[in-house]
Structure 1
């Protein structure tokens, strides 16, 4: 991929070690002699870094071998860059308070040009909620590009729901070199092939704890809205929701039963003004969009069991069998089929609920 001089300068400035985000932005201004305040920014950096350090960084910034080495390192990894100077930089993200200088991309970078919607939640999410998350993510992917993280739990369910369409962006907490030890390594590879993974950190940057919450501002910044499917009282998903609210984006949340710890954060969001989401239409109608549901063929027995679950909310397999007028072993077969079709989920033991 070819870059303009301005884009290359941003990439090189971002590669300089030991600088904060603010210092990198100041360095770019100082290095641009056409900038009306380049001398002022240079003086500020000299005061904060020391003249020797600043001069070494400036020499590195101008060094052709160093610049070519950075470019080769990115190219060898299959990483392309969308910089703050690029025409394709996402406008919604660009208008947030601290947009990343560079988005390091693997996959279909053109997805950044479309409308995005974020789906986030807890690592410890009940099975039934995971099934609902997977289902709604697949439905949202018909209208948006779904944005999420790469953690176990809700992130994984969101990826599984959307990756088949290719309309999926995963935002990494660190550099691309450090995702393949994840339990989701194979799934992330699939995202890179069909969708897109992005990071604001250069590929060789190891993950540090603070990067997770910083990453969440990107998830919120890319998206027109955010759905929180699960969250305890303290959760990274709530940080994402907070960023979204600060950016003026719509926040939705799944409702949860009383006493479900993984849903306390969601219920608090709804209590404080987030929109309750029970199905994809709750989101799409807010954006003036329609959804054409897929007609999944069901046998008469499957339809009867599904209707029983929709009426009861959730039920033990023996209660389902009684309500449907069938044997328990027949209910086992039917429920397994409905699970495969994504219409019911096991919510613990032999209890099931409609998705």
Structure 2
């Protein structure tokens, strides 16, 4: 037999198991705990999966080398499952929560009360950097946790400003920890894992895939009370994060940019749709003061 938690972590690591299948399996506790003795035919019948895929799943979780790898991972990284009491409540409540969350660094940051996600283009203008230097340090001084996605550009600058100003930051990755992406700033990645917090719903040895990044955006928005957009194109990951934030009932802030700049268009669009226009940090702070 195997515990439900062990089964969940093992299945999440298995390339033949998708989140919908794993969610289906979680509805039957006896199925999870009896995996070591199930036959491929039984698993295929219970989940309406092809026999070949069911066999691949069971072969994977019974492979001694896989078990050794998972044991090694457990010594290097934290694994939080949705059934653990310390799994973030904000993530439990979203429509498609991660079922396993891998973490490296300071887990206490997950319990910070004040938080804001910062997203934007990978190719920011000088104006964007100037804006961030004006907006973020006062928020960091007010004890805001900064959450972003470690992408080049606005994301990495948000993490760096949090570190430089003695604040706290969480980076949500679109890949496993053994495949940091992008690779342009290894020093920042290492610093985040040592003194801040790296999070990913993907197992440590999972390389980045294009679809991972839209998926991880729901985690970025869910971890925070609000999302701030600083320069974004109309078709961009930043606006996907905005859509996720709105679906989750979060506040959205946007910085207007110069007319004619492509990276201004996304911000101007969401301001027209109801996002709060931000001219200074006080436009954000006053909302929190009203709420608190």
TM-score, with structure 1 as normaliser: 0.72
Question: Partner of 2:26: helix, strand, or coil?
Answer: helix
Q: Report what 1:151 is aligned to.
A: 151
Task: Go from structure 1 to structure 2 and tell me whether the alpha carbon gap of 1:124 and 1:44 turns closer, same or farther (over 3 Å shift).
Answer: farther
Q: Is the 8 A contact 2:174 2:213 kept in 1?
A: yes
Q: Report what 1:132 is aligned to.
A: 131
Q: Which runs of 5+ in 1 are unaligned?
A: 36-40, 291-355
Alpha-carbon displacement from aligned partner over 1:45-102 (angstroms, at most 9, x marks no partner): 542232x5325534654x49467424323135x2111111111111111100111111
1:248 to partner: Cα distance: 0.5
Question: Partner of 2:188: helix, strand, or coil?
Answer: helix
Picking from 17, 23, 37, the partner of 1:19 is 17
Rounded Cα–Cα distance in structure 1 between residues aligned with 2:147 and 2:290: 18
1:283 to partner: Cα distance: 1.1
Q: Report what 2:36 is aligned to.
A: none
Aligned pairs, how many? Answer: 279
Rounded Cα–Cα distance in structure 2 between residues aligned with 1:91 and 1:266: 29
Q: Is the 8 A contact 1:134 1:159 kept in 2?
A: no
Question: Partner of 1:48: helix, strand, or coil?
Answer: coil
Task: Go from structure 1 to structure 2 and tell me whether the alpha carbon gap of 1:46 and 1:138 turns closer, same or farther (over 3 Å shift).
Answer: same
Q: Is the 8 A contact 1:150 1:184 kept in 2?
A: no
Q: Which runs of 5+ in 2 are unaligned?
A: 34-41
Q: Report what 1:195 is aligned to.
A: 196
Task: Go from structure 1 to structure 2 and tell me whether the alpha carbon gap of 1:33 and 1:123 turns closer, same or farther (over 3 Å shift).
Answer: closer
Rounded Cα–Cα distance in structure 1 between residues aligned with 2:242 and 2:56: 41
Rounded Cα–Cα distance in structure 2 between residues aligned with 1:159 and 1:85: 29
Picking from 87, 111, 116, the partner of 2:109 is 111
Q: CA RMSD in A?
A: 2.5
- Are 1:75 and 2:70 counterparts? no
Task: Go from structure 1 to structure 2 and tell me whether the alpha carbon gap of 1:31 and 1:162 turns closer, same or farther (over 3 Å shift).
Answer: same
Q: Is the 8 A contact 2:7 2:32 kept in 1?
A: no
Rounded Cα–Cα distance in structure 1 between residues aligned with 2:101 and 2:252: 24
1:160 to partner: Cα distance: 1.4
Alpha-carbon displacement from aligned partner over 1:19-56 (angstroms, at most 9, x marks no partner): 21100122333453599xxxxx9566542232x53255
Task: Go from structure 1 to structure 2 and tell me whether the alpha carbon gap of 1:31 and 1:235 turns closer, same or farther (over 3 Å shift).
Answer: same
Alpha-carbon displacement from aligned partner over 1:121-167 (angstroms, at most 9, x marks no partner): 00121112113224433332333211001111111210111124251
Rounded Cα–Cα distance in structure 1 between residues aligned with 2:9 and 2:218: 21
Task: Go from structure 1 to structure 2 and tell me whether the alpha carbon gap of 1:33 and 1:207 turns closer, same or farther (over 3 Å shift).
Answer: closer
Q: Report what 1:257 is aligned to.
A: 258
Question: Partner of 2:219: helix, strand, or coil?
Answer: helix
Larger Cα Rg: Structure 1 or Structure 2? 1
Q: Report what 2:5 is aligned to.
A: 7
Question: Partner of 1:238: helix, strand, or coil?
Answer: helix
1:282 to partner: Cα distance: 1.1
